Structure 1
């Protein structure tokens, strides 16, 4: 098993991955391109039979090529010291039958795609409370975010998060009510993440703040993507309000 860097990724390794074949598949390409933090593992960069991309922030392994149960076991054991290890698969993927046992989580998540670009956002932006404003996240606001460390784990550093991502805060005076962030981009897609402060949940603030972020992403030429656990009904409801037309459920298994 060999670990390589993004500048060592060969066309043969790229060819092992198809974004539509894996849930959240575009994240693979963010790591292969070096835009997101992670690890790239393979048997042979020049002539690979398999490649596994490990996403640092979520602990997800994305398999490409030929795998069997012993190889998956080896990969999971290798990554366990770094934290939780997850594998997401479409429900009809043959790899489901090859997953090793011993997992502590077996649930479902949902990919949300295909939002009509430039449509359906104004209705939410018009609901901005009169005593609030939507402010672009700068370094100072980034450092105040509850998700600051998680976002750094996605991008690899604060500098990369600020240059490769973008976000907005819904603010009342100097108080952050809700913040949302997108990126890094891969294959023309940016993923949306949002956090509403506890006292302000259930007021529609996440929908307003995400609408502004999606508007900014689409103005830059990006499509957007939403992902959440199936049981996170509040997050799924926001995605539907924001106009994502395609939902696809997948299995998510975790060694925790």
Structure 2
């Protein structure tokens, strides 16, 4: 994950070491079962009508991103709890299974979060019924509600940037991130891992990385955008150029580029709109952190 300031860090969260499955969670097996990665596909139908975080959720289900999935039962699950690498969590299916709901919350606070280097979670639901259920389940732990801005890509609006290549400044080179480049810049190694289906582009000045736009994850026929510009190259329009290159690459792969960010990242919101993304709605999420 590339880290930027509030100007161009779209995701705006720190990538954390991912916790491996905890073997003693089998004590709750009658209420909650953790799926093996080759079983993840069985929960796809529980998330097939979601209207945000599509790339993130389906990147885990499709095996493109590290993650964990818990269900009430393996045979035709009715509820699923999905953890994307880091602190982003998602729940789908029916909210009516109180035994599962209590068990998964207990697991999070008694086992999962204590194992994390940074004890924090951001939990997204996709229905009002689930959000109300989570209000009650998480209230005793002091969780609060926050919001994330969601955008929809509009190809017609993007066409205003058809001549973006002509705006690449002298001395800069646009490059696709590949294995050769990753050897020189180790931060790119996760992007070129074929198992993730991730990809990206960057603007370079000599051997120096000036700006990067990459897919933080790919799933559900969407590519989730992450963008970063080195501090000394900001305010030069490089983010717009590298984002245009990424968007065209996404479309060539038959992927819809997706943009989401936190509301306080005003410059990120402005850049999204400039690129042809249309603001949709703010998605509520439950936030819990040890130091909240």
**Do the two structures share a fold, i.e. TM-score over 0.5?**
yes
- The unaligned stretches of length 5 or more in structure 1 are none
Q: How does 1:1-256 map to 2 (within 5 A)?
A: 1-9=32-40, 11=42, 13-21=43-51, 23-56=52-85, 58-67=86-95, 68=98, 70-71=102-103, 73-77=105-109, 78-80=111-113, 81-82=115-116, 83=118, 84-89=120-125, 93-99=128-134, 100-101=138-139, 102-103=141-142, 106-116=145-155, 119-142=159-182, 148=188, 152=190, 159-160=193-194, 164-182=197-215, 184-256=217-289
Whether the 8 Å CA contact 1:110–1:229 is kept in 2: the answer is yes
Name the CA shift for 1:66/1:144 in 2 (closer, same or farther; >3 Å). farther
SS at match of 1:15: helix
Partner SS state of residue 245, structure 1: strand
Larger Rg: 2
Provide the rounded CA distance (Å) in 1 between the counterparts of 2:183 and 2:272: 26
Report the alpha carbon displacement of residue 70 of structure 1 after superposing the two structures with TM: 2.5
**TM-score (norm: length of structure 1):** 0.83
Q: Distance in 1 between matches of 2:105 and 2:285?
A: 16
Find the aligned partners of 2:147 and 2:222 in 1 and give their Cα distance: 22
CA distance in 2, matches of 1:192, 1:109: 15
Gaps of 5+ in 2: 1-31
- CA drift at 1:10: 5.5
Which 10-residue stretch deviates more, 124-133 or 189-198? Answer: 124-133
Q: Which segments of structure 1 move beyond 3 Å, counting only runs of 4 or more?
A: 103-106, 140-148
CA distance in 1, matches of 2:253, 2:269: 25
SS in 2 for 1:199: helix
